[in-house]
Amino acid sequence: MNIAIPTEDKQMQLIVEKVRSGQRLTQEDGEFLYRSDDLLTIGQMANEANLKKNGRKVYFIENMSLYFTNVCEAHCAFCNFRKDQGEEGSYTLSGEEMIAYVEQHIHPDVREFHIVGGHNPHVPFQYYVDSLKALHEKYPQVALKAYTAAEIDFFSRISGLTYKEIIQELMKAGLQSLTGGGAEILSDEYRKKMRVDKADVSQYLEVHRTAHNLGLRTHTTMLYGSVEKHADRIHHMVQIRELQDETNGFQVFIPLSMQPISPKAGIRRRNSAFEDLKTIAISRLMLDNFQHIKAYFINIGTQLTQVSLTMGASDVHGTMVKERISHSAGALTPDGITREDLVWLIKGAGRIPVERDTFYNEVKVYE
Is 153 annotated to bind a ligand? Reply is: no
Q: Residues with Cβ < 8 Å from 219, sequence gap 6 or more? A: 145, 177, 178, 179, 180, 250, 251, 252, 254
Q: Are 63 and 113 in contact (CB under 8 A)?
A: yes
The response to whether 267 counts as a known ligand-binding position is no
Three-class SS of the chain: CCCCCCCCCHHHHHHHHHHHHCCCCCHHHHHHHHHCCCHHHHHHHHHHHHHHHHCCEEEEECEEEECCECECCCCCCCCCCCECCCCCCCCECCHHHHHHHHHHHCCCCCCEEEECCCCCCCCCHHHHHHHHHHHHHHCCCCEEEECCHHHHHHHHHHHCCCHHHHHHHHHHHCEEECCCCCCCCCCHHHHHHCCCCCCCHHHHHHHHHHHHHCCCCEEEEEEECCCCCHHHHHHHHHHHHHHHHHHCCEEEEEEEECCCCCCCCCHHHCCCHHHHHHHHHHHHHHCCCCCEEECCHHHHCHHHHHHHCCCCCCEEEECCCCCCHHHHCCCCCCCCCCHHHHHHHHHHCCCEEEEECCCCCEEEECC
Count of other CB atoms within 10 angstroms of residue 7 = 16
- Residue 13 assigned to a binding site: no
Binding residues: 72, 76, 79
Binding residues for [4Fe-4S] cluster: 72, 76, 79
